[in-house]
Structure 1
Amino acid sequence: MITTNIDDWKKQLALTKIHPLVAFDPGTMRLLLMGFTNENQALTADVLEDTSAFSGYVSQTLADADAHFGIGGYNEHRTVYKRSRVFDAAEGQEPRSVHLGIDIWG
């Protein structure tokens, strides 16, 4: 049964076995919060327009921070969305720029 009532959802969640998405030990592994907004000056047009360059940026950022995983935030205004026409809007509408999930890199 699907519900939109938060209290019902919490009760259902309590009865659900939840498994981790990735094997992560917060006592021994480092997690890095990664930002993909306009404030991130490393996200140049060259990086944003080239999937390989963007992947390299993410990998190098994790390595530089000695992080096992990086996470990208929910509800973040993402510069990276400018690289794809998928996020363009119809005439008279705003293009999508807000991230609606949580990314995990590792």
Structure 2
Amino acid sequence: MKISVEWIVDSLLITFFIVLVMGLFNIASQINTAYNYHHYMIAQISQSHFDQGIMEAMANSEQYRITYTDCTIDHDLEFYPKELLYQVETEYTLKLPIIGYQITNKIISYAR
């Protein structure tokens, strides 16, 4: 009888830890997906030379909240052209529903 009770308790603990580890892998996948989308978005914006249509299309994501800040550098000298620079923020939410964990993170970088 003692062995069967220990076996049931061990099985429940092992199952809980396996589910928890799978949830942690899910969080790592969510972070990786957000970073991949952010870098893809920066590349598309830079390659389109800051086309407003593409910037609006990239910002219309259901999963992420994207904001742009114009940080254009304007030189006083005639020799240097105006440098286009945008700060791009991607905000995403990490969720681990097993333990009710939810947090919002931001990725901030610049598109030139």
TM-score of the pair, normalised by structure 1: 0.29
Larger radius of gyration: 2
Which protein, 1 or 2, shows the higher relative CO under an 8 Å CA cutoff with sep ≥ 6?
1
TM, length-normalised to structure 2: 0.28
Structure with the larger strand share: 2
